[in-house]
Chain A
């Protein structure tokens, strides 16, 4: 036995013991009070792209498979059965077949069958009569030819080409199974699922309430009777009320690193997980707007970014430098440091980078007296505005005089898509730690979420190539090659990946926050309150 496998056995044993151990102590009952930061625009996970919906709604649903809710890292190895009991690939790796659990009931009493799986994916693939108002993740399934059923308890995904990452996407909190017999419009306001909690009520700007589903197919779960998500739009009020113990848990990643100290000092026994949200701050440059159509100007901007300054100010050093994919240790696809530092603007000597940038700019005729004046557009929200203010300050060093243009939040993506901007500060959240999600959504030519309309056919080809690559190491190398290409193209240079904390009171047991994403750990079926 190799050392590694011995370790694995030991870990497995520990986990098994852990799984049994606390089972004796679990207490049922109680109301779990969770903070919520804003009013979601609907309750339909498939129509939205925000944790504001996933957090309160994931408990209402089940997926086919799910990232283990008790493991801190989302990875292919941590995918466990949910509505599917087992799954298997065919020989060509183009057909993924799920055996489904029997005897599962929707919250309205109707039985769950394979037809519901087909309906869900027909909806996402745009094949059904019923339509989603918005379908932000349609691109995730661009490789899915069809979903077929065999009897009531078997469903298969037929792919155009092999795609090992499909399972990871299906295991994300973004991929619940919807019922056939409830239309998409109803799912926005009165969602019905198979999950551990039934939806009760959504009071706009006030609260979302879900209650225990007594008929849940995982026997004995969930433990809490009721979860109340209270919408509090002011962050200071949220912090104060958590510290005053009005709530059991904060909103996802709501406690920024500078705030964490305060929370810890006021509520010393609070448990706070600092996690990578997988939301990057990035610079966007309109390559069609002169003088930014000149690759040299874009290169100078990429060189001017002092990532450490951003990370120090905004996250007290906790943020991470990296490419588009989440860097290690949490990220599965992060580049080795030496490789990353070869990318333009990532070199460790910031002063040297900036000197090079200044050289480029002065060769183009700019100087301290003759600056390049530009509007830096961003959304009128603090998490966008704050880094933009720092960016403007840094661009001063390379003779670019930025003026902040705050864009009403309703207009942001549309304005970017119209290319009605020159330079912008943007945030990009990624639903699952896989290049098939991140690259395909944000950098492939045909994606609806690629609102900067970055399009490089060569990159597109590489994205497809890595997607069907079965060998993990080879796939990683392809991914890193793509990272370099998109960085050299100055397509959304990543400034940093954020880390922030989610806090809970010490009596909230058995909740594990994923360390590499915020969208998939809200099932709450294992959580119990030790009060």
Chain B
């Protein structure tokens, strides 16, 4: 096997392998791209959480005098045609992206894990039925599914999260299930059975924790795609509604109308989306390499 044994390398380096900081710096040095991704993601999260500290403007307050103000000066990234500060909208927009990205990934992973765990562990008719459900859910491209969901639920922040999380469920469930199928045959599960532990307890105590690694890999990979899906839905007018400063929404209609007079309205939100997704993708790659060495890319 051509996998990397990080533990061995850490030992070889003679570091105190119990210090999490040492481990962290080791990984950061070994995966510089991943570290850069992590930095981007951290910056994004910090900006989202502490948005008011990064701008003194209210992202929703309009101002006739600053309509389509150019970048620079009072408005760092300019203003949209209602005179709303772009930097403030991007900063607060990070919140929306974060909430939708993490929210839908967490919701999708949660249900995906439960379904994957139950169907993989118990098998039988339960497995058969959930497998067919997963087939159906995966018979449509992700955005088409999210589009239909968003249309059925109507535009709102929480509905957007639900709409994006639903297509994630079957994806996660499938991966978790195949992991569980392998774990089920592990000696310690046999042992737990032998001592008379209940099936449910085994499933949640012994099998579930061992699916964490693939789950983290999947989750980070899904995060970027969830943010992109939100942007696409909002661009089509089906995602997060105004006045929430959603990056995708900022790119649709109003902004796109002014692509020529005020290109900053199109360039900055697009850059923000790209940068954050880029960061999560970098991070996702590194996480996968670390936790799932067989799939090293």
Measured CB to CB, the closest approach of chain A to B155, in angstroms, equals 6
B64 with A393: CB separation less than 8 A: no
- Please measure, in the bound complex, the distance between the C-alpha atom of A240 and the C-alpha atom of B263, giving whole angstroms: 13
Q: Say whether B67 contacts A389, CB under 8 Å.
A: no
List 12 interface pairs A-B (beta carbons < 8 Å), by A numbering.
A235-B256, A258-B67, A258-B261, A259-B258, A259-B261, A266-B260, A313-B67, A385-B242, A390-B62, A393-B60, A393-B61, A404-B243
Question: Are B62 and A393 within 8 A (Cβ)?
Answer: yes
A367 at the interface (CB under 8 A from B): no
Contact of B257 among A235, A316, A380 (CB under 8 A): A235
Extra pairs beyond A262-B260, A380-B155 (20, CB < 8 Å): A235-B257, A236-B256, A236-B257, A236-B259, A239-B260, A259-B257, A266-B260, A308-B64, A309-B64, A313-B81, A313-B82, A316-B67, A385-B242, A386-B254, A389-B60, A393-B62, A404-B241, A404-B242, A404-B243, A406-B242
| CB atoms of B257 and A239 under 8 A apart | yes
Chain B, 223-263, CB within 8 A of any chain A CB:
237, 241-243, 253-254, 256-261
| B163 CB to nearest A CB, Å | 14
**Of all chain B residues, which has the CB nearest A406?**
B241
CA distance A258 to B262 in the complex (A): 10
Beyond A239-B257, A239-B260, whether A389 also contacts B242 by CB under 8 A is yes
**Contact between chains at A390 and B82 (CB < 8 Å):** yes
Partner-A contacts on B (CB < 8 A): 60-65, 67-68, 81-83, 154-155, 237, 241-243, 253-254, 256-261
Task: Quote the shortest CB–CB distance from A350 to chain B (angstroms).
Answer: 12
Q: Does A373 contact B (CB under 8 A)?
A: no
Does A382 count as interface, using CB distance less than 8 angstroms?
yes
Given A313-B82, A382-B253, A408-B154, check contact A258 B242 (CB 8 Å): no
Distance between Cα atoms of A242 and B178 in the complex (Å): 55
Question: Looking at chain A's contact residues, is the secondary structure mostly helix, strand, loop, or mixed?
Answer: helix
Q: How far is the CA of A406 from the CA of B241 in the complex (A)?
A: 7
In the complex, whether A5 has a CB less than 8 A from a CB of chain B is no
Among the listed B61, B63, B81, B253, which residue makes an inter-chain contact with A258, where contact means beta carbons less than 8 Å apart? B81
Distance between A384 CB and nearest chain B CB, rounded to angstroms: 10
Residues of B within 8 A of A313 (CB): 62-64, 67, 81-83
Chain B nearest CB: distance from A9 CB in Å? Answer: 46
Alpha-carbon separation in the docked complex, A228 to B237 (Å): 28
Give the Cβ gap from A402 to chain B, nearest Cβ, in Å.
Answer: 10
Which of chain A's residues 434-487 have a Cβ closer than 8 Å to chain B?
none
Please give, as numbers and ranges, the residues of chain B lying within 8 Å of A309 by CB-CB distance. 62, 64
CB 8 Å contact bits of A236-278 with B (1 = contact, 0 = none): 1001100100000000000010110110001000000000000
What residues of chain A lie closer than 8 Å to B155, measured between beta carbons?
380, 406, 408
In whole angstroms, what is the CA distance A308 to B65 when docked? Answer: 12
Chain B: CB-nearest residue to A313: B64
A474 and B64 alpha carbons, distance in the complex (Å): 39
**Once bound together, how far apart are the Cα atoms of A239 and B83, in whole Å?**
22
A88 within 8 A of B: no
Instruction: Decide if A337 is an interface residue (CB 8 Å cutoff).
Output: no
A261 touches B259 (CB 8 A): no
Query: Which A residues contact B (CB, under 8 angstroms)?
Result: 234-236, 239-240, 243, 256, 258-259, 261-262, 266, 308-309, 312-313, 316, 380, 382, 385-386, 389-390, 392-393, 404, 406, 408
Measured between C-beta atoms, what is the minimum distance from B60 to chain A in Å?
7
| Interface pair A382/B254, CB less than 8 Å apart | yes
Residues of B near A261 (CB, < 8 A) are: 261
Minimum CB–CB distance from A241 to chain B (whole Å) comes to 12
Given known contacts A313-B82, A313-B83, A406-B242, A389 and B258 CB-to-CB distance under 8 angstroms: no
**With A and B bound together, what is the CA distance between A308 and B62 in angstroms?**
13
> In the complex, which residues of chain A have a beta carbon less than 8 angstroms from the beta carbon of B64?
308-309, 312-313
Nearest chain A residue, comparing its CB with the CB of B84:
A389
The residue among B63, B68, B243 with the most chain A CB atoms within 10 A of its own CB is B243
Contacts of B63 in A (CB 8 A): 313
List chain A residues, Cβ under 8 A from B61.
393
CA distance A406 to B159 in the complex (A): 13
A398 to chain B, nearest CB (A): 16
Q: Which residues of the partner chain B approach A390 to less than 8 Å between Cβ atoms? A: 62, 82
Whether the Cβ atoms of B243 and A392 lie closer than 8 Å is: yes
Q: Which of B68, B154, B243 contacts A389 (CB 8 A)?
A: B243
* Contact indicator A258/B258 (Cβ below 8 Å): yes
A residues within 8 A CB of B60? Answer: 389, 392-393
Q: Cβ of A382: which chain B residues have Cβ within 8 Å of it? A: 253-254
A308–B82 alpha-carbon span in the complex (Å): 14
Q: Give Cα distance in the complex from A259 to B255, angstroms.
A: 11
A385 to B260 alpha-carbon distance, docked (Å): 22
A408 to B154, CA, bound (A): 7
Alpha-carbon separation in the docked complex, A236 to B241 (Å) = 20
User: For A308, what are the chain B residues with a Cβ–Cβ distance below 8 Å?
Assistant: 64
Across the interface, B256 reaches (CB within 8 A) one of A234, A243, A258, A380, namely A234
Question: Which residues of chain A come closer than 8 Å to B254, judged between CB atoms?
Answer: 382, 386
Residues of B within 8 A of A258 (CB): 67-68, 81, 258, 261
What is the bound-complex CA distance between A163 and B67, given in angstroms?
A: 46
Complex interface: chain A residues within 8 A of B62 (CB): 309, 313, 389-390, 393
How close is B270's CB to chain A, nearest CB, in angstroms?
13
Give chain B nearest CB distance to A38 CB in angstroms.
13
With A312-B64, A313-B62 known as contacts, the answer to whether A240 contacts B82 (CB < 8 A) is no
**A262 & B242 in contact (Cβ 8 Å cutoff):** no
Whether B258 and A262, one on each chain, are in contact in the complex, defined by CB atoms closer than 8 angstroms, is yes
A39 to chain B, nearest CB (A): 15
Report chain A residues within 8 Å CB of B261: 258-259, 261-262
Write out the residue numbers on chain A whose beta carbons fall within 8 Å of the beta carbon of B82.
313, 386, 389-390
Min CB distance B80 to A, Å, is: 10
With the chains together, A262 CA to B258 CA distance in Å? 8
Instruction: Enumerate chain B residues within 8 angstroms of A240, measured Cβ to Cβ.
Output: 259-260
